[in-house]
Chains A and B, each alone.
Chain A
């Protein structure tokens, strides 16, 4: 009898508590804190992880975070890389799941084009500024002489 009550209590508590704490209570996925044995694949995974955003924390990549969710994502990345998937395919899969927000590397989408154009525009402006400055410069200096 005592056992039965204990069992029911245990089941109930698991049912009630687990959904709420699922993220934090489950043991971390195996590859969250373990590297791949092949250093080449691990380096590939690491490069990808450094460009994926941890969604729970702010401004940290999943390679830099203790958050359980980042651990799960690391596991995903490592196991998919180990299975031979292409890093960009994994990124695409994650973006499909979590949105563009998850990728630190800007995607080739119209909304990001101004960001890509910015350095070019700045360089152009700088060139115009410097040109104007120095075209006028020597001319005036000559006149002065």
Chain B
């Protein structure tokens, strides 16, 4: 019954989306004003219905209703609660329903709260949003119905891929999806503003919180995904340039560029066309990401949905939306002027430079990800991996980070370089010192980590300089957000560079009682014992580790064996210190009865994820600051309008 309700509600929501699209379009035509009033309520209603449908699916998974095909294929009655819940979106159909849900709910929220934008632009935006979600409704209802029943209930579910049975991963996809879909709202705003020729600061202000929100979620999603890969895959790697990782990185890069250019548009009324274009690109990258992940066209560790038919459906949607948006942009481009001008030395110029660099990285990642596909068309099977992405990405990333240190110190519109040269000298000196220290103390490390450490040190310092000379209590929250975000990126860069420059590895075959050492750490294998979890059994090693002869700590790496579905996974054990992390893995038993152990000492590696979280936190500060500002502005406007009305009345 629940499944049928879920499906019926989903159909109703799709029908409302059709209505929303047509009502929106007629309202924009002359004489269609009568319909303008229904667009907002339709969007809200559509959001509610889809949310209901998604809750129905969650309920089916929590109850493990094995008469539903999707549940039987992806769940298991013995699974822990949290993974039953996560199982809802840990599969193709569920994740697409989640996508539509987030999209419709955001559309509803836009309809409820957005009051700054011109009414016709907002209606065009909601119509655009309905148009985009209709494609996904069609996809769900026609080719991936999550509520399909089995002719006969299955005796037991198939279970969830053991690699995915991890709390971190349970919330990784929804986090990214919120980010992807947030960009769809930005896209709809861009479309709406193009249709009504209303590209200006008001549009940028309306779009900005959505871009910021999406960007925060993407940042958290990427950081968490990287940490997940780090501790689950069991070899200490944290970024593989895997197509699926790239699929989440590309929207992030585009969103970062969009965020900055929307800020310029909102406060300076410049970069209009560029901002609209980035809005289209950012959502295209979300779609490309979904396409890469969902189609399984690029097989990867993550590709748990391999189905070419679905791939072509998403590809068709991609072509319609992005092609349509580009055509619209082409038609309207001449009505979108560039806006205010600025000189070569100005904050706008530094933001433009960094936007171009971000787009450069984006282009490299996109090309590198798709290149193996393209060469396969010519019959050549090649790999593009870290030896390409790292140095080529750095060509763009390092100048960008140098500019990040300088840009926020510049004034808007026009500035004099000599005004800030004394200020910039401080972080430049820090960079030079860091470079010198690395060259002297750690000779022979690679060029990229060396540059990374130097630039990271300079940027970590420079990111705080915009606060210089300000009254810290009266500094707007959004400035704090920028400072913290830029600082976070520097911290992450230092962590990554340090990991790649200074990690030490120890592979060893050990008997119980044997000692080993890795970096400054000495280890002893105390015991190996079997343990059991709710749906797995494991061998668990007990290892005592001591840093430079200090008090020992105990670690418990496991080798887990899952029963439903059968699979194995290593559960690495981590010990975090302020200056690095010990990473321990229990491997197989050799034929001589010794255990294959793997250890790494990774100096400062936690900074990588700490930095990622700081970046997200900076985004959050900026978001809160901007929203508070907007609310205040609205209140003031209301008050002014109220007083004016009263004066009129008194007259």
Contact = CB atoms under 8 A, between A and B. Distances in A.
A50 to B, nearest CB: 7
B242 interface: yes
Interface residues of A, number: 45
Interface string A38-80: 0000000010001101000111110111100000000000000
B387 A105 contact: yes
Contact of A35 (B234, B236, B352, B506): B506
Interface in B584-613: 587-588, 590-591, 596, 598
Interface of A: 27-28, 33-35, 46, 50-51, 53, 57-61, 63-66, 99-107, 111-112, 114-115, 118-119, 122-123, 126, 129-130, 133-134, 137-138, 140-141, 144
Contacts of A60: 233, 235, 237, 240, 242, 301
A15 to B, nearest CB: 21
Contacts of B240: 59-61, 64
Mostly helix, strand, loop or mixed at chain B's interface? mixed
B420 interface: no
Contacts of B392: 118-119
Contact of B507 (A33, A65, A133, A144): A33
Interface in B396-452: 396
A123 B596 CA distance: 47
Contact of A50 (B234, B371, B386, B588): B386
Interface string B372-404: 000100101111111110001001100000000
14 contacts: A33-B509, A34-B508, A35-B507, A58-B300, A60-B301, A61-B386, A63-B235, A65-B235, A66-B234, A101-B381, A102-B383, A106-B388, A115-B367, A126-B360
A53 B242 contact: no
A106 B384 contact: yes
B11 interface: no
A136 B299 CA distance: 47
Contacts of B243: 59
Contact of B235 (A35, A64, A102, A119): A64
A27 B596 CA distance: 12
B505 A104 contact: no
A33 B587 contact: yes
Contact of A112 (B235, B241, B382, B587): B382
Contacts of A105: 385, 387-388
A115 B352 contact: no
Interface residues of B, number: 55
Given A59-B241, A106-B388, A118-B367, A134 B381 contact: no
Contacts of A114: 371
Given A33-B509, A137-B344, 18 more contacts: A27-B591, A28-B588, A35-B506, A46-B505, A50-B386, A53-B383, A59-B241, A60-B242, A64-B233, A66-B587, A104-B383, A105-B387, A106-B384, A115-B388, A118-B367, A123-B395, A130-B353, A138-B344
Contacts of A134: 343-344, 349
B383 A100 contact: yes
B242 A58 contact: yes
A56 to B, nearest CB: 11
Contacts of A141: 341, 343
Contact of A27 (B233, B385, B590): B590
A58 B383 contact: no
A118 B389 CA distance: 12
Nearest to B596: A33
Enumerate the 5 nearest inter-chain pairs by beta-carbon distance, A residue then B residue, closest first: A104-B385, A59-B242, A105-B387, A64-B235, A101-B381
A59 B387 contact: no
A121 to B, nearest CB: 9
A106 B301 contact: no
B384 A115 contact: yes
Contacts of B241: 59
B301 A64 contact: no
Nearest to B387: A105
Interface in B334-364: 341-344, 349, 352-353, 356-357, 359-360, 363-364
Interface string B272-311: 0000000000000000000000000001110100000000
Contacts of A63: 235
A9 B560 CA distance: 33
B100 to A, nearest CB: 28
B625 interface: no
Contacts of B498: none
B133 interface: no
B383 A103 contact: yes
B168 interface: no
A61 B385 contact: yes
A104 B591 contact: no
Contact of A123 (B344, B360, B367, B378): B360
Contacts of A106: 382, 384, 387-388
Contacts of A34: 507-509
A51 B235 CA distance: 15
A12 B363 CA distance: 57
Contacts of B219: none
Contacts of B395: 119, 123
B570 interface: yes
B135 interface: no
B531 to A, nearest CB: 20
Contacts of A59: 240-243, 300-301, 385
A66 B598 CA distance: 11
A141 to B, nearest CB: 5
Contact of B301 (A57, A140, A144): A57
A29 to B, nearest CB: 12
Contacts of B508: 34
Nearest to A106: B388
B519 interface: no
Contacts of B383: 53, 100-104
Nearest to B345: A134
Contacts of B509: 33-34
B363 to A, nearest CB: 5
B466 interface: no
A4 B160 CA distance: 46
B368 interface: yes
A130 B301 CA distance: 39
A118 B301 contact: no
Given A33-B596, A58-B300, A111 B237 contact: no
